[in-house]
Amino acid sequence: MDSRGAGDFNQSSPGPDDKAVAVNINSTPNPQVQSDPEVSWWFRILVRAVGAVAGVLCMIFGLWRCITFTPLCLVAGILMMVLGFIVVVLEAPICCQWLDLVDRITKWVDLRPYWQKAASYFVLAIIPVALCASLSTFLGCGAVFITGVLYGLMAVGKKGDAVKIAHVQKRQDQLAMETRTLMDGSGQPAEEP
């Protein structure tokens, strides 16, 4: 019998690598999960929901696309099913919790900026359409493309503030111009001619 008690057999001292991993995971800030003032919480949830539905639609239309006699459309259908699965894993990881890698992959993808997700969805949605241009390919990949567009909008953010700043700057320039014409070089009011 071992000198340790019955409850001590699973306890081991963490090595230096374990502490480094724990520090790296906890010290990496997630700009998207933290409060992002550019994107409201409901829009993030909406984009995730649209992405999950788009992934399921892409898989369904990809399966439909596989019923064909042309090899390029068969490849496009397989790519659509893979693309749909990837989108579902990234947007609704709760659907794929039985996979061990899903948690680590989604954490890594959530650390990426929105424009990277948008660009990847754009490119991945175009490939099956380039291989086989049909209605089912357009519908399935179009849903993923729309998800990419929504992520692109999240990356761009609100630009109304820039318009307000431009109006304020224009008004300040007008006031400065009026001030210069109403005063002479010494700062005294200019006399009317």
Per-residue pLDDT tens digits for 120-131 = 999 999 999 999
What's the N-to-C CA distance of the chain in angstroms? 111
- Buried b / exposed e over 76-114, threshold 16 CB at 10 Å, is bbebbbebbbbbbbbbbbeebeeeeebeebbeebeeeeb
Contact between residue 124 and residue 83 where contact means Cβ atoms under 8 Å apart: yes
DSSP summary character for residue 35: -
3-state helix, strand, coil in the chain (%, to 5): 70, 0, 30
* Torsions phi, psi for 101 (to 5 deg): -80, -15
Confidence of residue 171 (pLDDT cuts 50, 70, 90): confident
Q: Is the pTM of this model over 0.75?
A: no
Cite the beta strand spans of 40-180 per DSSP E.
none
Which residues are 183's β-sheet partners?
A: 189
Domain boundaries, the chain: 38-158
Confidence of residue 25 (pLDDT cuts 50, 70, 90): very low
Convert the pLDDT of each residue in 94-140 to its tens digit. 777 777 788 888 888 888 898 999 999 999 999 999 999 999 999 99
Angle at 103 between CA 35 and CA 156, to 5 degrees: 35
- The predicted structure's pLDDT at residue 68: 83
Q: For residue 142, how many other CB atoms are within 10 A of its CB?
A: 16
Convert the pLDDT of each residue in 1-22 to its tens digit. 444 444 444 444 444 444 444 4
